[in-house]
Amino acid sequence: MTLDMTPTILMVPGLRDHVAEHWQTLLERMLPKAASVPPLERDKLSCAARVAALDAALAKIHGPVILVAHSAGVMITAHWAQQHSRRIHGALLAAPADLETPLPAGYPAIDELAQNGWHPVPRKPLPFPSIVGASRNDPLAQFERVATMAKNWGSRLVDLGEVGHLNPAAGFGEWAMAQTLINELV
């Protein structure tokens, strides 16, 4: 019997969890070996609960893993990497939300995020290869701040152009570039 060493792609959604027409949800359905961190039933704003959910999802996967995170899912991934030592093959970190600056209406306030363990944003290098995809007009993060995050994490920065927050509200269902960037990590 041979072991399948094809990486499992684990989706790490942001605070809005799974959105039916989101590129992560669509991509997960298309990939032969993909899973997703399940949504939380309670403590939805708790960073610690989200990190624990990511760790629990990883514990169910045998073999190599590539994390594919979006928005606050990028921060969940960064916090997880500071606390755990499981080997990760690589990570695609798309449109990170800057949780240290005020977010638009409808999102949690800075003090609420701080009270729930999101601050400070981890700034240590990630212990695995990573690619950060940054938007030039993301309402949840300025490009320069995301570029600094990528540098701190030791990630390769990819300028995605003006793609908003890379979500359905910005006109994205499928995002073809995701597969290209994942293939680079494989």
Both tokens assigned to 100: 């240290």
Q: Which residues contact 175 (CB under 8 A, 6 or more apart)?
A: 23, 27, 94, 166
Q: What are φ and ψ of residue 127, in 5° steps?
A: -85, 25
Count of CB atoms within 10 A of residue 177's CB?
A: 16
Q: State the SS3 of the chain.
A: CCCCCCCEEEEECCCCCCCCCCHHHHHHHHCCCEEECCCCCCCCCCHHHHHHHHHHHHHCCCCCEEEEEECHHHHHHHHHHHHCCCCCCEEEEECCCCCCCCCCCCCCCHHHHHHCCCCCCCCCCCCCCEEEEECCCCCCCCHHHHHHHHHHHCCEEEECCCCCCCCHHHCCCCCHHHHHHHHHHC
pLDDT tens, 8-24? 999 999 998 778 889 99
Contact 12, 54 (CB under 8 A): yes
Dihedral, CA of residue 78, residue 80, residue 85 and residue 86, to nearest 10: -100
Q: Is the pLDDT of residue 5 over 90?
A: no
pLDDT at position 117 is 97
CATH topology of domain 8-185: Rossmann fold (3.40.50)
pLDDT at position 2 is 44
Q: Is the pLDDT of residue 173 over 90?
A: no
Strands across the sheet containing 34-36 = 34-36, 8-12, 65-70, 90-94, 130-134, 156-159
Q: Average pLDDT for residues 140-167, to the nearest whole number?
A: 97
pLDDT band at 167 (very low <50, low <70, confident <90, very high): very high
pLDDT tens, 40-84? 988 999 999 999 999 999 999 999 999 999 999 999 999 999 999
Domain boundaries, the chain: 8-185
Note the Cα 5 to chain centre separation in Å. 23
* Mean pLDDT across the chain: 94
Q: Is the pLDDT of residue 140 over 60?
A: yes
pLDDT at position 152 is 98
Q: Average pLDDT for residues 160-169, to the nearest whole number?
A: 95
pLDDT at position 1 is 35
pLDDT band at 108 (very low <50, low <70, confident <90, very high): very high
